[in-house]
Structure 1
Amino acid sequence: MGDKFALRWKIDNATAKFAAGKAESGVLAGGGFKWTAVFNTNGEESSDVSVILTCAYEGRGDWKCETNLKIVLHHPHSSRTFCAELAEFDNLHPAIDFSLMGFPATRLTDPAQGFIMDDKIKIEFRINITRSELPPPIDLAKFCPNGMGNVTLTFGQQKVRVSKEILAFHSPVFAAMFFGNFAEKDKEEVEIKDVVYEEFLDLLDLLCSRSTKIADYSVPYILKLADQYQMECLVKEPEDHLKQSTGIDEIQKLIFADKFRLETLKNHCLNSFDSLAELATKIKSSPDYANFSDGMKLAICDRMLMLA
């Protein structure tokens, strides 16, 4: 197959955004999907800008995709453009992460370079998808091996047969539900409310076979469900993924660490800052600092004192 399209992004208030370290797009539509783009200066305006282009593919699992990508910077005063043709990527989901070689933020925001006009910068992503492959559906039989299924969980019109014992072994919430003094104890079907069916399948898949691959897009709901059902055995995989992910901002990682009590991730993120200026710039540019717990704020201050 071949699918060519362009995503166009106009960065308003470009000077202030690059000075703060980050420019984030809204939703960009193209190729039948929704996209977002992030330009990051990594705390140094003199270093090459890093770019993260994310496809909001709404299916479960990784969408395998081969694509060619060009990024175009427009000169608003003329018809000239700067075009960077990037290597072929074999997986467009969850994100493409790359650097604009030779393009620090100072070059993009310097009027003499011709890329900024009225404090706006125009960016174009030209994408050519050459081949794509959807993930296989989950085999629901794996959740009740050897006919061990003895309860059906319902999510609206969708259902999955599971083993009470397996869920209860890993989750005190399900243990109380199935073997405590609750109405669900003797039911053949148990309704699970306010949980997305596909997300719960990914949780079950991770629990029963460890075949689900953690990705940036799945981290939030895997952590949320593992916390909701107190499945401590399922925390390590998303935490390890967050430690090595380049598609999630360090502040967002600290938000996860704070919300889900991930001490290893918290220490990893804070120790990734090598200078007081870098950490201070990141904190000042984030509106989320006010929402951190007192414990997280104290840990951030302690790291700042160590770097001072």
Structure 2
Amino acid sequence: MASENKRARREEEDNLLSGTDSSFSGVIRFEIDIISSFETSRVSPKVEVRGIGWLMKVIKGENANKVCHAGVYLHYWHCGREGSNFWSIDVDSIISVINTDKGERSAKQKLKKTFNYEILNWVYPEFISWEDLINVEKGFVKDDKVTFEARITLSKIIGIRIAPIFDFTDSNEPCHDVALLIQGKKVYASKQILGIHSPVFKALFYQEFTEKNKQEIELKDIKIKEFIQLLNHVYPSGEKITDSSIASLLDLSDRFEIKTVIDRAEQFFIESITYDISSKLKFSDQFRLVRLQDHCLFNLKAVKDIQNFKKTANYNSLSDKAKAMLLEKVMKLNV
């Protein structure tokens, strides 16, 4: 009975946000580790809702009575809009700290505010007393970690262009004219759009293959989540490549020969500071990414760099042709 009540409370909280379109909603879950060593403030990673970035900032400070509190900011992550007065966003949010003992959100604060060039953030300076937050008996801290959460819904977005959302699970979408069976589930898409971007799909849909006249085609050895991710990069959804998506995205775009996605993936690697040169060289060799390979060779400035690379697992995965290219680079550096 208690677990049912908890579930009911969570469902009620989920429905508190105004806005029925889930595509305009998002969640920031900000886990703060080593809370016992927290000094003045920490900032969450950015979370995007329909391409609009949001951050949560947790601060530690005293009020006028010298009582220490945790304050919480909800911050609009602007991109050159702070000087313009042409934009505004209505925001409904529930900000809370997770009670791990009770399995529920506690110390909740509701926010209903219009963000614009004058209001880029909103703060609750005394969200919860610091004493309660770090008191193990209160249930907020576990393994020296505390989790804050902001559940955001946007409405009345003015002056900001929003990328469209495509539902590839909806068979009633008028632009969809083919069902792709992946992991036993149907993904719906447009033959024409896929055919324009992929010669593999173009041949499958329009040449003399058995699949040509089928309304349902099975694609094997593919994860449905990764394929939908690929579709979002083929369609004009504004989807961005991330460190976690790049490998599967490049693998699928190479399999279906989708040049536009391959080019964006290659540029992502060139600009990435997360992947080191050895990883970049491995991908450039595996997927024949010439610009990325040139970028890597240019940044190998010394023989020692190549010698260090030869000690890695990534070097062992290179083709003989790529290894010969590195040897040639060593010879040039020795001249």
Give CA deviations for 1:202-238 in whole Å, capped at 9, x if unaligned: 1111111152110111111111111111111111211
- Report how far residue 89 of structure 1 moved: 4.1
- Report how far residue 275 of structure 1 moved: 2.0
Does residue 293 (structure 1) correspond to residue 319 (structure 2)? The answer is yes
Give CA deviations for 1:65-110 in whole Å, capped at 9, x if unaligned: 44545599xxxxxxxxxx89797342289xxxxxxxxxxxxxxxxx
Report which of the two structures shows the higher radius of gyration computed on alpha carbons. 2
The separation in 2 between residues aligned to 1:251 and 1:145, in whole angstroms, is 46
The match for 1:222 is: 249
Does residue 261 (structure 1) correspond to residue 288 (structure 2)? The answer is yes
Question: Structure 2-normalised TM-score?
Answer: 0.53
The alignment partner of 1:306 has SS state of helix
Structure 2 residues not aligned, in runs of 5+ = 1-25, 48-142, 155-164
The separation in 2 between residues aligned to 1:274 and 1:86, in whole angstroms, is 41
Does residue 206 (structure 1) correspond to residue 233 (structure 2)? The answer is yes
Does residue 88 (structure 1) correspond to residue 114 (structure 2)? The answer is no
Does residue 243 (structure 1) correspond to residue 248 (structure 2)? The answer is no
Does residue 130 (structure 1) correspond to residue 84 (structure 2)? The answer is no
The alignment partner of 1:254 has SS state of helix
**One-letter code aligned to 1:292:** L
The separation in 1 between residues aligned to 2:40 and 2:273, in whole angstroms, is 18
The alignment partner of 1:264 has SS state of helix
The separation in 2 between residues aligned to 1:224 and 1:141, in whole angstroms, is 20
Give CA deviations for 1:100-147 in whole Å, capped at 9, x if unaligned: xxxxxxxxxxxxxxxxxxxxxxxxx965443366999x6316999972
Identity %: 28
The match for 1:303 is: 329
The alignment partner of 1:200 has SS state of helix
The alignment partner of 1:184 has SS state of coil
Does residue 165 (structure 1) correspond to residue 183 (structure 2)? The answer is no
**One-letter code aligned to 1:90:** S
Does residue 283 (structure 1) correspond to residue 295 (structure 2)? The answer is no
Contact persistence 1:140–1:160 (CA under 8 A): no
**One-letter code aligned to 2:331:** L
The match for 2:61 is: none
The count of aligned residue pairs is 205
1:274 to 297, 301, 306: 301
Aligned-CA RMSD value: 3.6
The alignment partner of 2:328 has SS state of helix
The separation in 2 between residues aligned to 1:283 and 1:262, in whole angstroms, is 20
Q: 1:222/1:143 Cα in 2 relative to 1: closer, same or farther (>3 Å)?
A: farther
- Report how far residue 306 of structure 1 moved: 3.0
Contact persistence 1:223–1:235 (CA under 8 A): yes
**One-letter code aligned to 2:233:** L
The separation in 2 between residues aligned to 1:63 and 1:246, in whole angstroms, is 26
Structure 1 residues not aligned, in runs of 5+ = 1-61, 73-82, 94-124
The separation in 2 between residues aligned to 1:218 and 1:195, in whole angstroms, is 14
**One-letter code aligned to 1:209:** P
Contact persistence 1:68–1:86 (CA under 8 A): no
Contact persistence 1:143–1:163 (CA under 8 A): no
